[in-house]
Structures are given as C-alpha cells and as structure tokens.
Amino acid sequence: MVEVRLENVVKTFGETVALKGINLNIKHGELFTLLGPSGCGKSTTLRIIAGLDFPDEGSKVYFDKDDVTYMSSSERGAVLVFQNYALWPHMTVFDNVAYGLKLKKLPKEEIRKKVEWALELVKLKGFEDRYPTQLSGGQQQRVAIARALVVEPRILLLDEPLSNLDAKLRLEMRSEIRRIQRELGITVLYVTHDQEEAMAISDRIAVMNVGTVEQVGTPREIYESPKTEFVASFMGKTNVIPAEVVERNGDRVTVEFEGIRLDGLHYTGESDKVVVVIRPERINLAPVENGVSMEGTVDLVEYYGFFVEIVGLFGETRIIARTISDRDIGSLRPTQPVKFYINRDDIIVLPKQNL
C-alpha cells in the first residue's frame, strides 16, 4: 500500500505536450480513477506512475517519501494491467500467474502457495491447467489481475481493464475489482473514459482534459458540484446552457438566455459569459421552494421505463427534465406549453470555457 504524489508532471512527445503539469495526490488504500476523453493523457499518466515511461525534467513522482521518478516498475513496486490482458497464450493459467514469481526465483512450494492465493482471490481456483484461449474474456481479465497481484505490488494500475468485455461482464468485473481492492486494502489507480463506471467504483476521481486535471473529488462532489463547464458536461446527461450575467448583487447574479431571466443565482466568477448547469433530475414540473421558473413548449416526451424525460424548447435551447413519476407529466404532448421549476440551490453557474 502506498501514497502516490505527482508534482508538476510534464510529458512531451516531440511537438505534442501530452501532460501539462499534473499535480495529484493518491492516498493509501484508495481506489482512485483518472477519467477523461480519448487523448487527454490518462494512459500517459498511468505509464509514468507505473515506471514504464518517464516524464520531462522537473517532474516529480513520489511513492510515500521516495522519489521514484526515474525508477523501474519493479524497483518502485508498481504493476500495470493492460486493456488487452497480454496473457501468454502458450502458458497455462498457473504458469501465467507464476511468471513474475519464477523470475524472482522463489522456491517452488512458495510459488504454488502464492498462485493458489491469487487464483482464489479472483475466484479462479480449479482453472490452473487451462490455457488463455479456453477462458472467457472476463476470466482472462481475472487471470491478468491475479498475475499482477501475486507479486504483492505497492500499487495496482489498471488501464481501461473492462473495455473489451460486454456490458453485463463489465458490471460484474467492476464489482469484483472493488471487492478485491477492499479485501487487500491496496492502492489502486484506475483509468476509464466511462463516467458511470468511474462513479460506481471510485473513492475519488480526477477528471482530465487535454493534459490537465480539471477537478479532483469524490464521485458525489464531481457530479453535484462540478467546478468547470468541462467537468459538468462530461459527467453524464446534463443541461449546460450558455447565458450572460446581466446583473450582480454581491455573490448573487441574474443571468439571461433566450430572453429568460433567472435571478438570485450564486456566482462569483469574473466573466459575464457563463453557462448555467442544471441536472435533468433537479427540474420540476410544479412550483418548488426557493424556485425560479421558465416557460417554453414541449419538444419531446421520452419514456425510459423507470423515468420519463421531457425535452422543453425555450427559444432555440432544448432543456431536459427527468421525472420518475408518470403522474407528473399528466397529459403533456409535444408543442404544448410547459413550465419548468428549479430550486436556486440546484443551479450551478460557471464561467464559459473554450472547449
């Protein structure tokens, strides 16, 4: 178990600045996730922490008190599990898992015990003599994890470990990874571009965007209190409405879009060009306490089973409301007038970014 600290980590590949000065602090025994779109620098960060790649001069990577910036993977005690598992096809499950221990020249009996322990941990006891081709995708992934854990690393790094699995297996394996992490109390750094997956398994998440970290927080903090437009729009289906500040009164402002004015909203940013962030589930069809409202027409009513979405049209702007009760929507049909009500505390105003 280890605490990992990144200080001003920069990585350039020729002309490309892949990482623009990353600062991160991953705590002991935490499941920490890097989340972000393709090309934002997740794998590069992971490889640098794993010791498979080295950052530019001036960058620092610490494991606890030790500067490991230019140490090899094995010296620093990190193992990385890749998306494609990279199992050796000509070796049995046992030999795949035992590989790292054999390199260390441990006694045979000790190797057998450790492999047994690791296979039990990932629930693959009895599969020792199979070859990778005789395993399902999920089982192969379990072998890859067993092989990584058997050498008792200080940190386990997982780069999109579930992206080759079908939807159902993905759900199963992500709970498995969480269970194993809790059982061992090991520090795990996880990479995904799937925000739902990140929210489901992480203690904390870092949201990345073109080589920078935009926000670090618990899943709840990231979802409910995004600090930037990018983070707000990346965390699931949400309304991000460009607007303008037209009046200020201390830390409260009035914003306007499509001729609609919303007053008394909290905002202390400098720029008057803003976005108004409202989660669909925070929009009501009946008046609420401390509420603002907006009048438009119904564009669409979409039925999803356990919830219903009403897409309202306000000028050219579409705003999605979500409700779990069919009764709320009554007989709403497209082109009918509709009024959305939102508690001011559920509205986040953020500076407009150039995304």
Positions that interact with Mg ion (CB under 5 A): 43
Q: Which of residues 67-86 bind ligand ATP (CB under 6 A)?
A: none
Of the two residues 122 and 148, which places its CB atom closer to Mg ion in the complex?
148
To Mg ion, the closest distance from the beta carbon of 144 in angstroms equals 16
Of the two residues 159 and 229, which places its CB atom closer to ligand ATP in the complex?
159
3-class SS at 70?
A: coil
**Rounded Cα–Cα distance for residues 335 and 312 (Å):** 9
Of the two residues 38 and 325, which places its CB atom closer to Mg ion in the complex?
38
Of the two residues 51 and 312, which places its CB atom closer to ligand ATP in the complex?
51
Residue type, 129: D
Give the residue, chosen from 9, 32, 41, 346, that forms a contact with ligand ATP under the rule CB under 6 A. Answer: 41
Residue 321 interaction partner, one of ligand ATP, Mg ion, none, beta carbon < 5-8 Å per kind? none
The contacts of residue 324 (CB under 8 Å, 6+ apart) are: 306, 307, 308
Site pattern 296..325 for ligand ATP (x: CB under 6 A): ------------------------------
Of the two residues 193 and 204, which places its CB atom closer to ligand ATP in the complex?
193
Give the residue, chosen from 9, 26, 43, 49, that forms a contact with ligand ATP under the rule CB under 6 A. Answer: 43
Site membership for ligand ATP, residue 243 (CB under 6 A): no
Q: Which residues pair with 155 in a beta bridge?
A: 78, 187
Distances in Å between the Cα of 323 and the Cα atoms of 21, 62, 330, 335 are: 42, 47, 12, 19
The separation between CA 320 and the C-alpha centre of its own chain, rounded to angstroms, equals: 23
**Rounded Cα–Cα distance for residues 191 and 45 (Å):** 10
3-class SS at 5?
A: strand
Give the residue, chosen from 33, 44, 187, 195, that forms a contact with ligand ATP under the rule CB under 6 A. Answer: 44
**Residue 255 near residue 274, CB atoms below 8 Å:** yes
**Rounded Cα–Cα distance for residues 73 and 52 (Å):** 6
By CB under 6 A, how many residues form the interface with ligand ATP? 12
Site membership for ligand ATP, residue 16 (CB under 6 A): yes
**Rounded Cα–Cα distance for residues 326 and 303 (Å):** 9
Of the two residues 40 and 146, which places its CB atom closer to ligand ATP in the complex?
40
Stretch that binds ligand ATP, among 31-39, 110-118, 247-255, 284-292 (CB under 6 A): 31-39
In which region does residue 230 sit, left (phi positive, over 0), alpha (psi from -120 to 50) or beta (all else)? Answer: alpha
User: Which residues bind to ligand ATP, rule: CB under 6 A?
Assistant: 13, 16, 18, 36, 38-44, 193
